[in-house]
Structure formats: structure tokens, C-alpha cells
Structure 1
Amino acid sequence: MIFGYMRISTQKEKQTTDRQRITLEQYATDNKFKFDELIEERISGTIKSESRPQFNILVNKLRKNDILIVTDIDRLGRNADDVIMEFKKLKAQDIRVIALDTPYLNEWEKVQDSSIYNMIADIFITLKAHMAQQEREKTIQRINQGLAVAKAKGKALGRPKVELPSNFVKEYKKFKDGTYGNMSAMSFAKMLGIGRSTLYKYIKILECKEA
């Protein structure tokens, strides 16, 4: 059987899968076949494939030697790693994926030959994984460059330092001296309008300064 999967990454009514549908149907016409089913999904592109309801319904319908066609390979997942994982899972089940935006994976005749398809699929997985790794390395490089620039400009990195409120030292001395009677730490924190964990953090900062 031949299935088509269409996804748009928004819930907005104005956006439709029309472009994808037309592209898929034109591909079917050009290659003289008909889809057994076209499945449409409206869901954010940030959602993993395994968490997409319609995609999961589709996967459960797929059987050995079935063909799944998408207009763009990235419709299979939320990022490169997700796409690779889904592609590998489908290949392991002897399901062939045709992606119209991907060279060689979009050639109908080549996909019909299992030995040629498997060779193309293995090359695609290798290239996609390499591209994903390169993208991760670029991201890390950009972050490191940003940190280096910030450091060069004298910007403090990490969490900002916690500063004691101007009245804390005076109020804490009163608390310690018994000016407020037998007030508990919790009541003292409430009086200052802070949480107990914040109170202890302030006390620790004060003790470090006085050490």
C-alpha cells in the first residue's frame, strides 16, 4: 500500500496542507499510481514523531513493503535526530520512505528496487547524521563565541550575584538580639516578605561577609 503523510506545524485555520496535497498528487500522477490513503496532521513541529496522534495511527497501518511518501523529509520529525530515528525504524520494518525534497529518495523507479533503495537509505542516514552533528557543533561554537565576546566585554557570566536588601542587616540583628521576642525564622521571613530559603541564603551571604 502507498500512504502519504502531510503535516503543518500550526493550529491556525488559515494554514492548510493544500500545497503538500497538490505536490503529492502530482507525483502520483507523474508516476502512474494512486495513494491508498493520505493522512493529514495539524501539530507543532516541536512535537516528537512518537507523540503525534495521526502519525502514530499511520505507522500502525504500515506493513512490510508499504511505501510512505512525504513532500519534505523533515515532516517525519521535529529535528534531524528525530528524523533519523523514525527513518531507521521504518527501514527496519521494510517500509520505504519517499521524500520529494531529497535527491535519490524521490525517484520512484529506484525505490521499487529494494537493493538500490537500501543502499540509498543507508547513504541518506549517514549524511543526515553527519549534518546533524555538524549543526550541533556549530551551535556549541556559536555559544562559546558568544560567551567569549561577553567575557571580553567584562560581562559577568552565569547567575547574577545575590545582593542583600539594604534593610536586611539591621532587621536581622534585631531578630538575633531578641528585639522581636521569640519570633521564629519562618515568621521573620514572612515579616520581611521573603521565603524561608531566601532568608537562609541571605544569612549565609551575611556570615560569609563577616567571616
Structure 2
Amino acid sequence: MKKIYGYIRVSTKDQNEDRQKIALAQFPVPSENIFMDKLSGKDFNRPQYKRLVKKLRKGDMLVIKSIDRLGRNYEEILNQWRIITKEKMADVVVLDMPLLDTRQTGRNLTGTFVADLVLQILSYVAQTERENIKQRQMEGIAAAKMRGVRFGRPRKNVPGDFYSIKLEWEDKKVSSREAARRLGVSQDTFLRWVHGR
């Protein structure tokens, strides 16, 4: 008997999956057939997704809210689509994108071509946007650094008793670890002060 499965992915443990759950329930996907990962979409190394793919049989159906819930990597999305539709011979329904519904398109060559083409275009656009976001972030960070913005925790001020403790360290009367402990800083911070970094 053909089964309907659903897949939900949220990127972080704090993200709310309710919107996806409601959409799958309205399809309807039986709640016991919904698999969910709270992991990044950068790859397909996700335990619940792997369990789901193992369960898929010929004629079964996988329902997802949107293509980015499946993943974010262009080549891997195409590969997973091929595994599900060609190897497993299951249908895929992407609720936010009716053209990516293999129930209608998978029965003839033109329909399959259209679904594959739409998927490739969407995946390409998603990956290009991710690369653009990374590029904009790098440019923003570089521009901020040029304006003198400092990132990370603010550096600690060198305390007044540093110089006397540094002399003890130079005379090998105390170790760098002991000197750092007496100053209330990490050993790395003490050594950075010593070397003027």
C-alpha cells in the first residue's frame, strides 16, 4: 500500500516548525509519517531524513513545505531528488511550488523535464543567493574594520602590576601560568601582553 510521508527541517533547535507541521497536516500527511530534523540544510547528513529515505518505496509520496526545507546545497538537492524520484520511484510534492509535484509531471517526458528544469533553476537561485549573502557579509566586515570597528571581545587593559610581574617572569622567578594567575588573566593574554601584541 502506498504511503504518504512528510519531512520537516528547521535550522536550529530554537526555530519553530509549526508552520511546516500545519501545512503537512492539511495535505494531509499522517502525523506518524512525519520526520523532522533540527539541523542545518548544508548537507544531507541528517538522521531523520536518512530514516525517511530508507522507508520510501515505489509509489510512496514525500511531501515538503518548500524546496529549501529539503536542503540548501544545489548539487545535493538535485542528487536527492534523483534518488527519491528515479531510484526509489516515489513522488515528491513541494507544497509552495506546484510545478514541483511529480504526481502530475512524472507521468510523461515533458512533465518530468519541466519539474527537473524548475528544480535546477530554484536550486541554482538558492545557492547563488547564499553565496551573495556570504560575499555581502565579508564586504560588510571589511568595511567595518576599515572604519575602525573591532570585532570580538574588547581587549583587557594591562594592569599596573603587570610590569613588576613581567620582570619576575623574565628573571624566571615565576612561570607564565603563575604570572597570569596573579594578574587574573589567561596565560595566552599574559604572553600576548609580554610580546606587545
User: 2:24–2:63: 8 Å Cα contact kept in structure 1?
Assistant: no
- Tell me the CA shift for residue 99 of structure 1: 1.5
Offset of residue 160 of structure 1: 7.5
> 1:81-140 deviations in whole A, cap 9, x for unaligned?
464443233234133312132142237332333x33431343134202320232033213
Is 1:40 aligned to residue 44 of structure 2? no
**C-alpha distance 50-92 of structure 1, shift in aligned 2 (>3 A):** farther
1:166 equivalent in alignment to 2:159: yes
* Distance of 1:86 and 1:129 partners within structure 2: 12
Q: Specify whether residues 97 and 155 from structure 1 end up closer, same or farther in structure 2 by C-alpha distance, changes over 3 A only.
A: same
**For 2:95 and 2:46, how far apart are their aligned partners in 1?**
24
Identical-residue share of aligned pairs (%)? 20
Q: CA deviation at 1:175?
A: 4.0
Query: Is the 1:6–1:38 Cα contact (8 Å) retained in structure 2?
Result: no
TM-score using structure 2 length:
0.69
Partner residue, 1:29: none
In the alignment of these two chains, the number of paired residues is: 189
1: CA distance, partners of 2:86 / 2:22: 31
Deviations 1:4-26 (A, max 9, x none): 3053747899947244222x13x
Matched residue SS, 2:106: helix
* Structure 1 residues 190 and 56: alpha-carbon distance in aligned structure 2, compared to 1, 3 A threshold: same
Contact map agreement 1:2 1:67 (CA 8 A) in 2: yes
Aligned CA distance change for structure 1 residues 162 and 65 (closer, same or farther; 3 Å): same
Residue equivalent to 1:185: 176
Name which one, 1 or 2, has greater alpha-carbon Rg. Answer: 1
Residue 128 (structure 1) aligned to one of 99, 122, 126: 122
Separation in structure 2 between the aligned mates of residue 11 and residue 205 of structure 1, nearest angstrom = 42
1:201 Cα deviation (Å)? 1.9
The answer for unaligned runs of 5 or more in structure 2 is none
Structure 1: gaps spanning 5 or more residues: 26-34, 207-211
In structure 2, relative to structure 1, the CA distance for the partners of 1:162 and 1:44 (3 Å cut) is: same
Which residue in the other structure is 1:7 paired with? 8
**Conserved 8 A contact 1:3-1:37:** no
RMSD of equivalent CA atoms: 3.8
Q: Which residue of 88, 108, 112 corresponds with 1:118? A: 112
Letter in 1 for 2:110: I
Length-normalised TM-score, structure 1: 0.66
Q: Distance in 2 between matches of 1:110 and 1:201?
A: 64
SS in 2 for 1:205: coil
What pairs up with 1:1-211 in 2 under 5 angstroms? 1-7=2-8, 9=10, 15=18, 17-22=21-26, 24-25=27-28, 39-44=33-38, 46=40, 49-53=44-48, 55-77=49-71, 79-81=72-74, 83-93=77-87, 94-106=89-101, 108-113=103-108, 115-147=109-141, 149-151=143-145, 154-156=147-149, 165-167=158-160, 168-177=162-171, 182-205=173-196
